Amino acid sequence: MRALKRELAQTDIERQLRPYRTASKNRRPAEGWLRAIRQALGLGAEEIARHMRLTPKMVFQLERSERACTISLERLEAVARAMQCDLVYAIVPRDRSIYDRAAELADQGLWRKRSKVKGW
């Protein structure tokens, strides 16, 4: 029963990951997503700042933080909302499918150990 559940979960996650696998092949804009999207939408930092109750300087700091990969998901989502956008987040295995990774873990004897963790 557990094996069937795991297989169904793997099939479902593989289906959900398809668009993200494609997206992961595209690189982040040099100026970062926040600035690129803000400028593409024609929004000024002042407008974002007003929605977030921040100063424009703080919006620029958030953009720098995103570029440096130090922004929190919570803040990233807040800026996205202020721009009338959604934050889409995924973790995508690099060179293999979930099936391949699960098989590798099982071969190494690690799957069983991990499956005893609550929620696995």
So where are the chain's domains?
A: 2-115
Please state which CATH number belongs to domain 2-115.
1.10.260
In the predicted model, is pLDDT for residue 39 greater than 80?
Answer: yes
Q: Cβ(81)–Cβ(88) under 8 Å?
A: no
- 105 band by pLDDT with thresholds 50, 70 and 90: low
In this predicted structure, the answer to whether residue 6 has a pLDDT above a threshold of 90 is no
Instruction: For residue 90, name the pLDDT band (cuts at 50, 70, 90).
Output: confident
pLDDT reported for residue 113: 47
The residue assigned the tokens 């919570």 is 74
Confidence of residue 114 (pLDDT cuts 50, 70, 90): very low
Residue-level pLDDT at 77 = 97
Q: pLDDT at position 30, please?
A: 93
pLDDT at position 66:
97
